[in-house]
Every structure is written in structure tokens, then in C-alpha cells.
Chains A and B, each alone.
Chain A
Amino acid sequence: MSANLLYFASLRERFGSAGEALELPVDGATVKTLVDSLRARGGPWAEGLSEGRAWRVAVNQAMASLDTPVRDGDEVAFFPPVTGG
């Protein structure tokens, strides 16, 4: 099973990627599962998604948090705090 990840704005530039499909463990995956997996890549991934940095996550286009469940085929987006208006 996998999730469709999207990256926006400064995170997209930092990662050098607009998104990817990421494999998940079959049971009990949450946003934290994904974040841990991405942070383990080190470099810009660990920096961009570090605990001290402000970033946001949405699951299926609704704001989410670390404990939000992630299921097969979900769309999970990572982005900086918003600055519209």
C-alpha cells in the first residue's frame, strides 16, 4: 500500500520534488509514520520536516496532524504555514 505525497512552496524547493508515491506498512500507518520515513533520508528532508521548523500537513486535502491515520491511496501534502490574502 502506498500514499501519494505532495510538497509545496519552500518544501518543494528544498526537497527538489513536487511529490512521490511512498510505500507504507500495511497496518496502523499515520502521518508520523511518513514523517519518520522522510526524516530518515537525512539532509533537506530531516531539516525541512524537523521538529523545530514550522510545517503543516494535510491528508486528503484537510488539515491533519502527526496522529492522523494514512490509508492506501491517501493524498498527503506537506507545506509551510500559509501566506495568502
Chain B
Amino acid sequence: MARVRVQEAAFDAGIETAALTAGRRDVGAVATFIGFVRDANEGDAVQGMTLEHYPGMTEKALEAICDEAASRWSVLDLRVVHRVGALSPGDPIVFVGVASAHRGEAFAACEFLMDYLKTRAPFWKKERIPGGDRWVEARASDDEAAARWQVDEDRG
């Protein structure tokens, strides 16, 4: 399976996780993250969501983020699956999984992948709330979370 996938269909986190260790005996740790659609945001009930993306650039951006993670940590395998299209509260949106020899590398790479994905991959959420639709605003806290990792980048 490709390490980066953008799809409308739901994913099976169990299958994605199992694929990270299939046929290998060098994996000591797998860290995974799954993001879900919440039923509330900014004090409003969220009835549904549509995820738009930039086909072509999205895949390139996610591949670049994976390359960056693999260059910073000893990653044995990794996987990013992101859904697009119409989603409902409770639906999984994104899966990130990292396999490594030790847990520290897996935890760090997994968190890094999510922080960079949230600030660098061209996805946009539009929420359906009582009274209409609205585009979700980018959060400063996401920029701050991504900026934490840039110290290492500056050191080269």
C-alpha cells in the first residue's frame, strides 16, 4: 500500500496498523493517531463537514512531510491516510502511523507528522452548523505546534 493516500472512503485503522508491521521482525514500536470529526466547534453544534483539497499538491505535500519525518527519525515504515468529501460527527478523518525500533522515535515522528500535516497540507474544512455553512479558520495553536519542530530544522 502507498504510504500516502487521500480518499473519500473510510479507512480501517486496524488494517493500516497491521500493514506497518506485516512481514517484519525489526519493529519494536508502532505509534498511531486517528483524528475524528467533533460534534461541536467554537461553541456551535457541528452537523457535518466537507473536506476540500488540492489534488496533486496534497499528495506531494504529504510525501514531503513523510520524507522529512523519515530524515529526522529512524522510521521503519509510516502511513498517512486523509479523507476528503462529506463527513459526519464521529467519522474518522485522518490516520497517521509510524513503525520504528523504539517508542521514542515512533511517538515523536507521529506527532511531527500531524503537526506538519495540519499546517502544510492543502486541506480545508467547511462545517455545517445551525443556520448555515462556514469555513473553519486556521488556528494559531496549530502554527505554534508546528513551530516547535523547527529548531531542529534550523540546525540542519
Mark A residues whose CB is within 8 Å of B. Answer: 6, 8-10, 54, 58, 61-63, 77, 79-85
Contacts and interface: CB of A to CB of B under 8 A. Distances in A.
Interface of B: 35, 51-54, 56-57, 60-61, 82, 93-94, 114, 117-126, 135-138
B120 A77 contact: no
Contacts of B118: 82-85
Contacts, number: 71
8 contacts: A58-B57, A79-B54, A81-B137, A82-B123, A83-B124, A84-B82, A84-B117, A85-B121
B90 to A, nearest CB: 16
Contacts of A63: 120
Interface hub of B82, B93, B138 (most chain A Cβ within 10 A): B138
A9 B126 contact: yes
Contacts of B135: 9-10, 80, 83
Contacts of B93: 84-85
Given A8-B54, A10-B135, A61-B54, A82 B122 contact: yes
B124 A79 contact: yes
Contacts of B114: 85
B34 to A, nearest CB: 11
A1 B138 CA distance: 35
Nearest to A12: B52
Nearest to B137: A83
A77 B57 CA distance: 10
A35 B135 CA distance: 23
A65 to B, nearest CB: 14
Contact of A58 (B35, B51, B119, B122): B122
Given A8-B122, A79-B124, A84 B53 contact: yes
A8 B125 CA distance: 11
B32 to A, nearest CB: 14
